[in-house]
Structure 1
């Protein structure tokens, strides 16, 4: 109980102050390509908290459920939770109207990454071998919806999820993934469990999804969607969106801030105890080729939302 109270207290502090401590690098090259990972999930979350005072209390209830969860409570069918995925492609140009092949390549990456079947899973350093996880979630492409629009970029105000874009399909039983040009150096963002179903889902820029077609180096291995779906399943950034912050997971090291590129291992944190940072964790900001693991603690956190009383329990029925 003492640990739970400390976690909930830190959640209040996290949501109250971390806007002042951001470390994102919204950086583009001269040709408009993004050269450093930038995820807008926390910014969107803070905006939702500001516009909906009741959301903070709801998130604390979700956190309490998460901290009290153990894996024996998970609702697994043959050891797996199956998530239908609706992909909403919103495009102005032919390039933005990505192919079904590119979309399927992203579904394939999600299935490998969430089931420890990615080839680079074997690269997990021995120091982390005891906590590397097979999450046990399978993704199935449910349908692709396309819409041609006269809009250059969509930003992060969820406009692509409104009638001007494509409304979500059955968001309480299907993961909606919007593919469009976001702009402002953002690769993607997601909505945490607990937000409105009318805006629930994940948004990925059309240049950074899947492994073929428009997928652009160094974010051409589908790990942006893995990262954002992690958020959708209630994972925080591994550095807690503030210097030496918490991601509410016990088996991830404390990071002083986000990592970029592919850091040389071992990369030591400047936080208390100087732990080796888990720069290869999907919830860091390393380039796609440098990300290849979740932990057992993250697995428990993700599966908790599908359990009885969990925020996404409707997906596990």
Structure 2
């Protein structure tokens, strides 16, 4: 299609955002899921979060997950971790993770709930996080949470989101992402905000800003918003296998857009993702098994329409055998 990118890079966030609201799982179960996700061909995996284990108990094994990621080959996915402070960034790089995401909420209400600081206070810490990450030879992405709406403050003024984005770049962010933390965005608002950020903050038309997007499907518009973001020039999207996830500090927030559904949408529209859909469906079935309840993936229930509903194997040996045949 005219005007659309040839390829979109998906970051799999199921191990972090997908599981952070769940009861803590054994690290061994997470490693099984990590192996399944890596087998899909996804180029980027958000592995964990280096945050307070008291605040987010499900992420208490962050260092162990980083060690597990160290066993993958150099040609495997790029692993990253989310942090909420310079201290978290130090823990991440000490554990060998140098691709780091730092969250700054565009709204004060969510920022106070999430990191016990105002937006401006959290934004000011970006430079400290950047110094640690860059000192380790790494790369920092600032994710702007509640970019469209806040569960405490209501609609986020676009001027405020743009100001946070500009400030993050000035303080050392290498790239940005905008997040619909509570799943209230709609395609028109997505297009308007992303277009504005790209126009106002790109060094030039020939050198556009690196901007990703993260959507939740809380109100059923997540995939539509992702499509609108792609139409607006975004080529980096987050998704969580099985449609699990949500923010523990945002009341009412529920799951992310499902990785397998995003792959289905993009691949069937002629936009390459490099992800094997059958392997992604197998990983979605596995996360349901590990968590112990169904996720929100319609595609997992219905199957790929090109082949009809097919049994989904959660056995990694079967997946590897099928991929080699």
TM-score for both structures, normalised by structure 1: 0.29
Q: Which has the higher contact order (CA 8 A, sep 6+)?
A: 1
Give the structure with the higher percent strand: 2
TM-score for both structures, normalised by structure 2: 0.29
Give the structure with the higher percent helix: 2
